[in-house]
Amino acid sequence: MTINKNEADPRVIRTRRLLQDAFAALLQEKDFESITVRDIAERATVNRTTFYAHFVDKFEMLETKLMESFMTIINRRISGHEVLNEETIQSIFLGVCDFHMGLSTMCKRRYTSLGPVFENQIKEKIQTILLSFIDKDKMQSSPNAQFLINTASILLSWGMYGAAYVWNNEGCLISAEAFVKQTMPLLMNGAKELLE
């Protein structure tokens, strides 16, 4: 939980950005495990007390960075989509691939250890995005419908995350577009409950 007093204050925004930029630069140079709060504060030219006024620890900083990055990518991909259909699912899936590629670039040295760190949060966010397209009346039509929709959204979110993670971890042997196109029939079989 962030401990900011006034997040709209330009000084708070500027200091937070300094800390985030310092952290991003350090991730390019060192393993996440070896980066300390002192390293981040020194790189940002602030003291550790200032760091702790903005972040609880480096894990919160990493989570904030990853979630902001993920949502920026996904929002760009799903902009203009209003209903959940195959095209929307494909756009979300491409966004997940983009995220993994970006994460492995941002954290060149430790992608395999950092990828899974916030895996659950990313999968939950994908599920929330999928469910945000579902008609609320459909969700509440029956307990069984709600169960099937939730289960289908979990399967899709975990499937997209896992497939994109492995595709990226194996070196992106084909383009994200080709990978998603080949994989979509498998995903769409699991998506039937969401689309009916």
Q: What is the pLDDT of residue 112?
A: 57
- Using alpha carbons only, what angle is made at residue 189 by residues 183 and 194, rounded to the nearest 5 degrees? 115
- pLDDT higher than threshold 60 for residue 6: yes
- pLDDT higher than threshold 80 for residue 109: no
- pLDDT tens-digit profile of 38-52? 999 999 999 999 999
- pLDDT higher than threshold 90 for residue 124: yes
Whole-prediction pTM value? Answer: 0.78
Share of the chain above pLDDT 90, in %: 49
Alpha helices in the chain (DSSP H): 10-29, 37-43, 48-54, 58-78, 86-106, 111-114, 119-132, 136-139, 143-169, 176-195
CA distance 13 to 118: 24
Q: What is the pLDDT of residue 2?
A: 43
Contact 73, 141 (CB under 8 A): no
Q: What is the pLDDT of residue 3?
A: 44
Residue bearing tokens 């790189």: 43
